[in-house]
Structure 1
Amino acid sequence: MSHHQSGEDVVDLAIVGAGINGLAIARDAAARGLRVVVVDRADAGSGTSATSSRLIHGGLKYLERYDFTLVHESVRERHLLFRNAPHLVRDYPMLIPFYAGNSRPGPLLRLGVAVFDALAAGRGRGRGRGVSNRRMAMRWPHLEQKGLRGGVLFNDAQVPWAERLCIELLLDARHLGARLLTHTTVTGLLRSGDRVTGIRTRENRSGHEREIRAHLTVNAAGPWIDRVLDGQIVSKRLNGGTKGSHLIVDPFPGAPSTCIFFEAAADRRPIFVLPWEGRYMLGSTDLTYEGDLDEVVTDQSEIDYLLAETNRIFPGAGLTPDDVVYTVAGVRPLPYAADVTDNAKISRGHTVLDHGPAHPGLFSIIGGKLTTHRALAEDVTDAALKALGRAPRRCTTRTRPLPGADTSDYAAFREEFMHGSPLSAAQRGRLLDIYGVRARRVLALAEEDPALLDVVDEESGAVAAEVVLAVNEEGAATLGDILLRRTLIGLGSDMGRGAAPRCARIAAPHLGWDEHRVQEEIAAYDEELRPFRPRSLRTPAAPESQERSML
Structure 2
Amino acid sequence: MSTGLDCDLLVVGAGIHGAGVAQAAAAAGHDVRVLEQTGIAAGTSSRSSRLIHGGLRYLESAQLRLVYESLRERAILLRIAPDLVRLVPFHIPVYRGMRRSAARVRAGLSLYALLGGWRGGSRFHSLPRSTWDGLDGLDTRGLDAVFRYVDARTDDAALTRAVMRSAQSLGAELLCPARFVAARATGDGIEIDCTENGRERTLRARALVNAAGPWVNRVLARIEPPLSASRIELVQGTHLLVPGRLACGIYYLESPRDARAVFAMPDDQGVLVGTTEVPYEGDPGRVAPLPAEIAYLRETLARYFPRLDGEPMEAYAGLRVLPAMPTAAFHRPRETVLHADDPARPRIVSIYGGKLTTYRAVAERVMARLQPSLPAAIRRADTARLPLAP
Matched ranges for 1:43-62 at <5 A: 43-62=39-58
Match of 2:146 in 1: 151
- After superposition, the Cα gap between the structure-2 partners of 1:130 and 1:394, relative to the gap in structure 1 and judged at 3 Å, is farther
* One of 322, 325, 334 as aligned partner of 1:348: 334
Which secondary structure state, in structure 2, belongs to the residue aligned with residue 190 of structure 1?
A: strand
Match of 2:348 in 1: 362
2:87–2:150 Cα contact (<8 Å) kept: yes
Q: How far apart, CA to CA, are the structure 1 residues paired with 2:172 and 2:281?
A: 34
Matched ranges for 1:459-498 at <5 A: none
Match of 1:325 in 2: 313
Q: How far apart, CA to CA, are the structure 1 residues paired with 2:381 and 2:328?
A: 37
Match of 1:12 in 2: 8
Shift of 1:301: 1.1
1:57–1:74 Cα contact (<8 Å) kept: yes
Instruction: For 1:338, give the aligned amino acid.
Output: M
- After superposition, the Cα gap between the structure-2 partners of 1:304 and 1:369, relative to the gap in structure 1 and judged at 3 Å, is same
Q: How far apart, CA to CA, are the structure 2 residues paired with 1:11 and 1:307?
A: 49
Match of 1:398 in 2: 384
Q: How far apart, CA to CA, are the structure 2 residues paired with 1:311 and 1:291?
A: 32
2:210–2:349 Cα contact (<8 Å) kept: yes
Match of 1:416 in 2: none
Match of 1:77 in 2: 73
1:92–1:155 Cα contact (<8 Å) kept: yes
Instruction: For 1:345, give the aligned amino acid.
Output: H
Matched ranges for 1:260-409 at <5 A: 260-319=251-310, 323-334=311-322, 336-339=323-326, 341-356=327-342, 360-388=346-374, 390=376, 396-402=382-388, 404=389
**Greater per-residue strand proportion:** 2
Normalised to the residue count of structure 2, the TM-score between the two structures is: 0.93
Matched ranges for 1:507-522 at <5 A: none
Q: How far apart, CA to CA, are the structure 2 residues paired with 1:176 and 1:394?
A: 8
Instruction: For 1:184, give the aligned amino acid.
Output: A
Shift of 1:131: 2.2
The alignment of Structure 1 onto Structure 2 pairs a total of residues equal to 387
Which secondary structure state, in structure 1, belongs to the residue aligned with residue 361 of structure 2?
A: helix
Q: How far apart, CA to CA, are the structure 1 residues paired with 2:165 and 2:365?
A: 21
Match of 1:135 in 2: 131
Which secondary structure state, in structure 2, belongs to the residue aligned with residue 241 of structure 1?
A: strand
Instruction: For 2:318, give the aligned amino acid.
Output: G
Q: How far apart, CA to CA, are the structure 1 residues paired with 2:360 and 2:119?
A: 17
Match of 1:523 in 2: none
Which secondary structure state, in structure 2, belongs to the residue aligned with residue 24 of structure 1?
A: helix
1:333–1:367 Cα contact (<8 Å) kept: yes
Which is bigger in relative contact order (C-alpha 8 A, separation at least 6)? 2
Shift of 1:35: 0.7
Task: Kindly indicate whether residue 176 of structure 2 is the aligned counterpart of residue 187 of structure 1.
Answer: no
Task: Kindly indicate whether residue 229 of structure 2 is the aligned counterpart of residue 236 of structure 1.
Answer: yes
The alignment-based identity, stated in percent, is 36
Q: C-alpha deviations, 1:185-213, integer Å up to 9, x for none?
A: 101112337x861311012xx42011111
- After superposition, the Cα gap between the structure-2 partners of 1:25 and 1:238, relative to the gap in structure 1 and judged at 3 Å, is farther
Shift of 1:102: 1.3
1:196–1:360 Cα contact (<8 Å) kept: no
Q: How far apart, CA to CA, are the structure 1 residues paired with 2:354 and 2:328?
A: 19
* One of 27, 32, 36 as aligned partner of 2:23: 27
Q: How far apart, CA to CA, are the structure 1 residues paired with 2:308 and 2:237?
A: 23
1:352–1:365 Cα contact (<8 Å) kept: yes
1:245–1:330 Cα contact (<8 Å) kept: yes
Q: C-alpha deviations, 1:74-109, integer Å up to 9, x for none?
A: 111111111101011121111000011211111011
Q: How far apart, CA to CA, are the structure 2 residues paired with 1:217 and 1:132?
A: 55
Q: State which structure, 1 or 2, has the greater radius of gyration over its C-alpha atoms.
A: 1
- After superposition, the Cα gap between the structure-2 partners of 1:278 and 1:354, relative to the gap in structure 1 and judged at 3 Å, is same
1:75–1:124 Cα contact (<8 Å) kept: no
Instruction: For 2:173, give the aligned amino acid.
Output: R
2:15–2:43 Cα contact (<8 Å) kept: yes
Provide the alpha-carbon RMSD of the alignment. 2.2
Q: For structure 2, list consecutive stretches of 5 or more residues without a partner in the other structure.
A: none
Q: C-alpha deviations, 1:400-423, integer Å up to 9, x for none?
A: 112x2xxxxxxxxxxxxxxxxxxx
Match of 1:65 in 2: 61
Shift of 1:135: 2.9
Task: Kindly indicate whether residue 207 of structure 2 is the aligned counterpart of residue 216 of structure 1.
Answer: yes
2:242–2:272 Cα contact (<8 Å) kept: yes
Which secondary structure state, in structure 1, belongs to the residue aligned with residue 302 of structure 2?
A: helix
Which range moved further: 121-130 or 386-395? 386-395
Q: C-alpha deviations, 1:8-29, integer Å up to 9, x for none?
A: 4331101011101111110111
Q: How far apart, CA to CA, are the structure 2 residues paired with 1:342 and 1:133?
A: 35
Task: Kindly indicate whether residue 166 of structure 2 is the aligned counterpart of residue 172 of structure 1.
Answer: yes
Q: How far apart, CA to CA, are the structure 1 residues paired with 2:70 and 2:120?
A: 11
Shift of 1:153: 0.7
Which range moved further: 119-128 or 218-227? 119-128
Task: Kindly indicate whether residue 237 of structure 2 is the aligned counterpart of residue 251 of structure 1.
Answer: no
1:246–1:281 Cα contact (<8 Å) kept: yes
- After superposition, the Cα gap between the structure-2 partners of 1:49 and 1:89, relative to the gap in structure 1 and judged at 3 Å, is same
Q: C-alpha deviations, 1:122-144, integer Å up to 9, x for none?
A: 544251111243432x3226212
Which range moved further: 219-228 or 117-126? 117-126
2:93–2:252 Cα contact (<8 Å) kept: yes
Q: For structure 1, list consecutive stretches of 5 or more residues without a partner in the other structure.
A: 1-5, 405-434, 436-551
1:386–1:392 Cα contact (<8 Å) kept: no
2:345–2:373 Cα contact (<8 Å) kept: no
Which range moved further: 387-396 or 20-29? 387-396
2:136–2:248 Cα contact (<8 Å) kept: no
2:220–2:229 Cα contact (<8 Å) kept: no
- After superposition, the Cα gap between the structure-2 partners of 1:231 and 1:358, relative to the gap in structure 1 and judged at 3 Å, is farther
1:77–1:374 Cα contact (<8 Å) kept: yes
Which secondary structure state, in structure 2, belongs to the residue aligned with residue 95 of structure 1?
A: strand
- After superposition, the Cα gap between the structure-2 partners of 1:250 and 1:360, relative to the gap in structure 1 and judged at 3 Å, is same
Shift of 1:333: 2.6
Shift of 1:304: 1.2
Which secondary structure state, in structure 2, belongs to the residue aligned with residue 9 of structure 1?
A: coil
2:189–2:204 Cα contact (<8 Å) kept: no
